[in-house]
Structure 1
Amino acid sequence: MSSKHHKIKVGISVGDFNGIGVEIILKALKDKNITDFFTPVIFGSGKLFSYQKNVFKINTTFNYVQSAKEAANGKLNIVNLWKDNVNVDFGTPTEESTKMAIDSLEAATDALMKGEIDVLVTAPINKDEMMKQGFKHAGHTGYFEEKFGKKGLMFLVTEKLKVAVSTHHIPVSEISKNISKQKIKEQVRVLNQSLIEDFCIQKPKIAILGLNPHAGDGGAIGKEEIEIIEPAIKELFNEGILAFGSFPADSFFQPEKYSSFDAVLAMYHDQGLAPFKTLAYEEGVNYTAGLPFIRTSPDHGVAYDIAGKNLADEQSFSEAIFTAIKIFKNRNEYQDLIESRLKPRVLAHDNGIDEDLPEENE
């Protein structure tokens, strides 16, 4: 449904409630006017949120519903998945908190795929504990790829800095085996299309980092740049994608360098995320690009060390909400533009002047 004709429904999964997930959700939604901009739909437990709002002294009223279809505009809606009491043990993952994180994510994803919510914002999870409970993926990205049947790309974004990573949660010793010319080309195509469709950048410029120190130093410190990365860049450029590199990662993240590009593809997790979180920690958003549905999250984890202490900053979570909304609107506008361009037209040649006229039954 077009964002022009209804208030956007933002689904929210709660993550591990013994971390800071519920706290940042409550803080991000505490302004009574927040529902003027979107309709929140939280997938969790009414009793859990009632307990934690008292811990953090946040005066909030919830509307309890059985499904996202019942969510009311102008209210903070909770799809009440768990009706029993929950035991909160701040700072310590438990079987109960892990089970709710899984249930919340699965219910929210199901609602997203059914069109009951428009976008999904996920609070932080504990990947290790979830895998112990039978969750098959080391993070959200792999889960959504399986559910949606399409490859996604981990993409960290702010207004000024956007960084994607080619490999995610794998040991450093495995990185070299998990990059290839074809994989890089496919990822850059996804990145390029996301920048056009989701961020309204007509002709994106994309920087690609080298894998090795000094981008291999001409092959002296590794040959992946010569054999894999730079041939991929050349072929992408020949396709009309403005891909450049490979750039040494140690000197790339200086403002005068990265600001010349619309996005960066790093070769591995920490190569991209370490500088991103240093430069844009509070406002950074994790976005899964390339999927048919929109999912964002804050760029931090469960933060057990500060859980329950009323110290968590909700800015990244708030940014995740409004980034998801912005992308949803951008996608709708892009689709409207494409559909308008594809509408059949007939030409009139009266008086020697060509005019684009709609067909009679258009």
Structure 2
Amino acid sequence: MTMPLALTMGDPAGIGGELTLKAWLARRHAAPFVALDDPGRLQALARKLSLDVPIREVPTIDVAAGVFRDALPVFPVPLGTPPVPGTPDPANAAAVIASIEQATRLTLAGEAAAVVTNPIHKSTLYGVGFPHPGHTEFLAALTGTALPVMMLASPVLRVVPVTVHASLRRMLEMITVERIVAVCRVTDAALRAQWGIPAPRLALAGLNPHAGEDGTMGEEEILTIAPAIAQLRAEGIDAFGPFAADSMFTPTARAGYDVAMGMYHDQALIPLKTLDMAQGVNVTLGLPVVRTSPDHGTAFAIAGQGRADPSSLIAAIDLAADLASRKEATA
């Protein structure tokens, strides 16, 4: 990989800054990255947590890789006000958004290899007029992507929710044959192109208990999910199911597929976070850029205390580097 990864700040009142510092300390095991952050706040945080991380502000991204061995390169994104750990401040919302925008712009321009995002606090952004449900939808808007798809991946499991940031009531309206087919197409294409899996196996979960029990516990499996599977198989995509969600994540079941397609957010994410929270990575499929993120939130309750575990961010950095390298080699 010839370019650094672009790492966003996340909410400065959360654990993102600490994770960034600790990821640099583990740099022998991570690809070079540049933090799009406020250098002063990272310096102050490193001193507070007694982390020996030299901070070096860089004027352009192209020098970051050369700096990375000896110091954490930071492309400056000034904050509106000094952050207070655990207390998100709307005065810093513009900087949080700008960090994501700049990371995406740099990656689209070919100056950065991929986008890696630290966790944001969505409600704080909503308070200043942020119109997107989360990172996934914002990145889609920034890149002109019609259908971004969220995948969470770890060494033991990959999952994709067909619907993401929607209430259960709204989710029921969103589960259609067309949406299931579209999300599965994006997933299948990404597994082929980015993961190098020549014939991905997509296992679809049912929506209802026992996958509907032949219609006695709900008809969505018969009327919606099964027709979607039939259409996908007619297109040459190895989709199968629907399976009862309470039994499709056992070790034996997981050996039979490459990705589990859940119908809604928690159905897909709870198994992965239970099995491998530390190594879980959020990947956005369907974008023209590689984007990964740790699979956890801002963790305000432990922010600024030196207790945050950087494992998921390091895994996100490693996966972004792998995917970006494969993309670069293919191009």
State the TM bucket, normalised to the shorter chain: over 0.9
Deviation at 1:17, TM superposition (A): 1.0
* Residue among 94, 115, 126 paired with 1:99: 94
Instruction: Please tell me whether the aligned partners of residues 201 and 239 of structure 2 are also in contact (alpha carbons under 8 angstroms).
Output: yes
* Residue among 284, 290, 296 paired with 1:288: 284
The aligned counterpart of 2:40 is 47
The aligned counterpart of 2:141 is 146
1:186 aligns with 2:182: yes
* Residue among 43, 50, 64 paired with 1:57: 50
Identity value in percent:
35
How far, CA to CA, are the matches of 1:32 and 1:10 in structure 2?
A: 13
Aligned length: 327
Instruction: Please tell me whether the aligned partners of residues 181 and 232 of structure 1 are also in contact (alpha carbons under 8 angstroms).
Output: yes
How far, CA to CA, are the matches of 1:9 and 1:32 in structure 2?
A: 12
Closer/same/farther in 2, CA of residues 33 and 281 from structure 1, 3 Å limit: closer
The aligned counterpart of 1:315 is 311
Q: Could you tell me which amino acid in structure 2 is paired with residue 275 of structure 1?
A: P
The aligned counterpart of 2:116 is 121
Instruction: Please tell me whether the aligned partners of residues 80 and 92 of structure 2 are also in contact (alpha carbons under 8 angstroms).
Output: no
Q: Which runs of 5+ in 1 are unaligned?
A: 337-362
* Residue among 268, 274, 277 paired with 1:278: 274
1:19 aligns with 2:14: yes
- 1:158-194 superposed Cα distances (whole Å, 9 cap, x missing partner): 1231000111111111111001111111111111111
Q: Could you tell me which amino acid in structure 1 is paired with residue 51 of structure 2?
A: I
Instruction: Please tell me whether the aligned partners of residues 160 and 259 of structure 1 are also in contact (alpha carbons under 8 angstroms).
Output: no
Closer/same/farther in 2, CA of residues 26 and 222 from structure 1, 3 Å limit: same
Q: Which runs of 5+ in 2 are unaligned?
A: none
Q: Could you tell me which amino acid in structure 1 is paired with residue 271 of structure 2?
A: P
Instruction: Please tell me whether the aligned partners of residues 216 and 223 of structure 1 are also in contact (alpha carbons under 8 angstroms).
Output: yes
The aligned counterpart of 2:209 is 213
Instruction: Please tell me whether the aligned partners of residues 7 and 34 of structure 2 are also in contact (alpha carbons under 8 angstroms).
Output: yes
Deviation at 1:68, TM superposition (A): 2.3
1:81 aligns with 2:77: yes
How far, CA to CA, are the matches of 2:28 and 2:130 in structure 1?
A: 37
How far, CA to CA, are the matches of 1:77 and 1:210 in structure 2?
A: 46
RMSD over equivalenced CA pairs, Å = 1.6
Deviation at 1:31, TM superposition (A): 3.6
The aligned counterpart of 2:25 is 30
* Residue among 143, 153, 164 paired with 1:157: 153
Closer/same/farther in 2, CA of residues 168 and 205 from structure 1, 3 Å limit: same
How far, CA to CA, are the matches of 2:269 and 2:80 in structure 1?
A: 37
Q: Could you tell me which amino acid in structure 2 is paired with residue 49 of structure 1?
A: L
Deviation at 1:331, TM superposition (A): 2.3
How far, CA to CA, are the matches of 1:111 and 1:122 in structure 2?
A: 14
SS of 1:162's partner is strand
